[in-house]
Amino acid sequence: MVIAGPSSVHLARNISSDLNVNIIEPDLKIFSDGESKLRFPSVNNKHCIIVQSLYPPPDRHIIQLLMIIHKCKKDNASKLTVIIPYMAYARQDKAFLEGEIISIEVLAELLENFGVNEVITVDIHNKVSLSYFSVNVKHVTAIPILAEYIKNNIILDKFFIISPDTGGIARATKFAQLLNLPLLCLKKKRDRDTGCVSIDENIGMKVEGMNAILVDDMISTGESIVKACEVLKKQKIGKIIVVCTHAILLGTAFEKIINSGVKEIISTNSVPSICSKVDLSIILSNILLDANLSDIKD
């Protein structure tokens, strides 16, 4: 059965519908001090597919996930598959400064120690993070379904694809290939201490009058997108569309990005928002079925 974590109820409903299996939606209460209380019926030796994205507030969503896992284990669940569409702490995959804790390693060990058998995640920020998991991890990308959405909803006249930095070049290249569009990669620098972003204005391509699709795995503060738009606007670019898997959009990030000249932000429903226009359930359901999970097929 599918168990809908509080952060991903709608996505869990879609997955249960795709798989044609029962769903449990735990009762949730948030106390005045911020603590969570969850309640749901016994899972009675079932294979439990728990869906819980770890977008902000990540620590609350992590403890809720652990509470659900804990109860499933006490109910003698036959198997625990945890779907984490957005994996929190994946940007902290190494100690950048002396004395830093590798946070993704802590999360990976928690899931292992709680008895999780399998983890499925989508477009993790850095695949190095996957190396910290000793349980079976399946990583899936949303790039094909995002590209399909663009193909079906945008007239791609004079468009090209932009990667905001070299770290995302493989992702943007795949996106450009699927849409048969040219690719441009910007040169971004981030100060490790201050977090400030700068982008080289020498982009190496004439873009006046052209249209751009900026492709990234995630948007949090929107600072990188705004800086990229400033550079592109100086080059007299036309329309700018932003596409990402995880639109976290902290604070006023959405308004800042739109005000910088972006016409539209398109994301998946890994993080529910006004930008969530592409449903992940189809690829998540397919990866479950492709794994020959006989208890789901039955």
Catalytic residues: 188
Strands 27-30 and 183-185: unpaired
Strands 118-122 and 136-140: parallel
Q: Which amino acid does the sequence have at 252?
A: T
- The residue written with tokens 């992590």 in the block is 62
